[in-house]
Amino acid sequence: MTRPSGAIRATVALWALMPLAALASVEDGSSQPGGSADVDQAPIATRQILVTFADRPTRRLPGAGSTRRGYSGRRNYETSPRSARLAAKLAREYDLEHVDGWPIELLGVHCVVYEVPAGRTTTEVIQRLVADPRVDSAQQMQLFEVLGRASYDDPHFDLQHGLHSMQVEQAHQWSRGAGVRVAVVDTGVDVDHPELAGRVAIAENFVDDDALGFARDRHGTAVAGIIASRAGNGLGIVGVAPLADVLALKACWEGDAGSSPAVCSTFTLAKAISFAVRKRADVLNLSLTGPADALLSALLSEAIDQGVIVVSALAGDRRDLFGFPASLDRVIAVAASEAPKSTLPLGLRAPGDDVLTIRPGAAYDFMSGSSLAAAHVSGVTALLLERSPRLTHESIHRLLEATSHSTETAVAVNACAALAGLLGTAGCAAAAEQDRAEAEIRPGSSL
């Protein structure tokens, strides 16, 4: 990966705790061994319950977190004789296995961990204990998981500030774009890049017969990488829709490395768009712009009539002169969220500045441009279509617009909020809090 010239400051992760209810409420009668749990191992909690009763410890505990063992740390405090007797008596009376105990001085109670034997449900035991006048409380042992940026093992995931700002990781709890076909009409794509292995369903060249040139093209590779890079493969980055199927359709000639943009023609674009519709693409990504074109307008209108969602990049400050096809009414137009709000009042916004993506030859790089913003939205569209394949371009645009989040300098599509809005559920942490926690990442190269 090409490293930027400027320093990259560390990312500050947000951490929280969430009940892992599925692990904490199993009532299948299975039994797990008791005893003290090492701090390095998560406790097996499905058969364990917590019981508290009034008590006063005989020695003050040094402080929370002062023991080095999970449940064992008795040398740091002394259980009162009354607590020990009552804990043992409850174990005998209710036929429970005593696992451990701890005086919670702050609450004035002694807390005991019991294990419920096989053949009895924890619910039944808890109900009986709650009715016992000697018991203050009884509850199921719960497990919690830490929320953070470590759920993917892709080593550059923390550098994908665009994905974090759009809360893509949280959106993946509901959808990863499985079964959705995204046509990337662009330059060629390195279909053998490790991030795209198994993700490119079709690769077609409508420009020439240069297979080696197809694989070396940078722009199409970068766009496809943002949309569909594999997740959790221990490599590089994560795509917005890592289970989507890519149709890599070359309709543009790649320019000289870093010196000129790729160029497409009406004819090559018409062939690629027609092919995408014929191959039943669900999303058509057009990270390109040019003058209004009657033939392409007719083709795109027909594609939209047939249910294809067309996403196109806005052209920055050249919108009035070169705004096509983003200027078409039923095309989802996308600008870079980093652009000033007053510059492009129309269209959705998505990350487009210093975006980490893939390059040909198993490489990675930071690139910039509204092309990348459009790719982000095509990926989010794939997430939505997996859950609701009959969504129209109007409903997708309204949903993305309504759930976009705004800061003082930018407004951007929020993948998690869009999925939550579609499914009528909650589950997205405040994007503004994530934005404040993110340290600046300002790499130097561009697309």
Both 357 and 324 in one domain: the answer is: yes
Both 420 and 298 in one domain: the answer is: yes
pLDDT band at 339 (very low <50, low <70, confident <90, very high): low
Contact of 382 with 181, CB cutoff 8 Å: no
If you ran DSSP here, which 8-state letter would residue 244 be given?
A: P
The Cα 123–Cα 142 span in angstroms is 13
More confident residue, 16 or 100: 100
Number of domains making up the chain: 2
One-letter amino acid of 383: L
256 is annotated as an active-site residue = no
Q: Which domain holds residue 414?
A: 157-437
CATH number at residue 265: 3.40.50.200
pLDDT band at 37 (very low <50, low <70, confident <90, very high): very low
CB atoms within 10 A of CB 138: 23
Residue 325 pLDDT > 90: yes
C-alpha dihedral (386, 389, 393, 398), degrees to nearest 10? -70
User: What per-residue confidence (pLDDT) applies to 352?
Assistant: 81
Residue 68 pLDDT > 60: no
- Alpha carbon distances (Å) from 291 to 59, 322, 440: 81, 5, 36
Each residue's pLDDT tens digit, 171-206: 888 999 999 999 999 999 999 999 998 899 999 999
Task: Say whether 334 sits in a helix, a strand or coil.
Answer: strand
Both 295 and 337 in one domain: the answer is: yes
Both 299 and 216 in one domain: the answer is: yes
Both 64 and 110 in one domain: the answer is: yes
Contacts of residue 411, Cβ cutoff 8 Å, sequence gap at least 6: 337, 341, 349, 404, 405
Residue 146 pLDDT > 80: no
Q: What angle do CA 303, 404, 327 make, to 5 degrees?
A: 35
Contact of 358 with 195, CB cutoff 8 Å: yes
End of a domain among 120, 146, 172?
146
Residue 440 pLDDT > 70: no
Both 162 and 259 in one domain: the answer is: yes
End of a domain among 121, 146, 171?
146
Catalytic residue among 186, 217, 354, 365: 186
The Cα 318–Cα 323 span in angstroms is 7
Average pLDDT over residues 403-422: 80
Q: What angle do CA 70, 76, 82 make, to 5 degrees?
A: 95
pLDDT band at 152 (very low <50, low <70, confident <90, very high): low
Contact of 339 with 316, CB cutoff 8 Å: yes
Q: Which two tokens stand for residue 443?
A: 């790499």
Catalytic residue among 165, 371, 378, 404: 371
Both 107 and 186 in one domain: the answer is: no
Residue 245 pLDDT > 80: yes
Catalytic residue among 219, 376, 397, 405: 219
Task: Say whether 257 sits in a helix, a strand or coil.
Answer: coil
Question: pLDDT exceeding 70 applies to what percent of the chain?
Answer: 70
User: What per-residue confidence (pLDDT) applies to 165?
Assistant: 82
- Is position 9 within any domain? no
The Cα 256–Cα 260 span in angstroms is 6
Average pLDDT over residues 400-418: 79
Contact of 208 with 267, CB cutoff 8 Å: no
Sign of CA pseudo-dihedral 333, 338, 344, 345: positive
Residue 186 φ/ψ, nearest 5 degrees: -165, -155
Q: Which two tokens stand for residue 43?
A: 């406790």
Both 84 and 169 in one domain: the answer is: no
186 is annotated as an active-site residue = yes
End of a domain among 146, 167, 198?
146
User: What per-residue confidence (pLDDT) applies to 226?
Assistant: 94
Contact of 184 with 223, CB cutoff 8 Å: yes
- As a whole number, the mean pLDDT across the chain is 77
- Is position 335 within any domain? yes
CB burial of 174-183 (b: ≥16 within 10 Å; e: otherwise) equals: bbbbeebbbb
Both 415 and 300 in one domain: the answer is: yes
Both 199 and 317 in one domain: the answer is: yes
Lowest mean pLDDT among 153-162, 397-406, 415-424: 153-162
DSSP code per residue over 97-131: EEEEEEEETTTTEEEEEEEPPTTS-HHHHHHHHHT
- Is position 5 within any domain? no
Residue 4 pLDDT > 60: no
- Is position 252 within any domain? yes
Task: Say whether 181 sits in a helix, a strand or coil.
Answer: strand
If you ran DSSP here, which 8-state letter would residue 316 be given?
A: G
- Is position 152 within any domain? no
Question: pLDDT exceeding 90 applies to what percent of the chain?
Answer: 45
The Cα 97–Cα 117 span in angstroms is 7
Both 81 and 175 in one domain: the answer is: no
Residue 41 pLDDT > 70: no
User: Residue 245 belongs to what H/E stretch?
Assistant: strand 245-250
Question: pTM to 2 decimals?
Answer: 0.64
371 is annotated as an active-site residue = yes
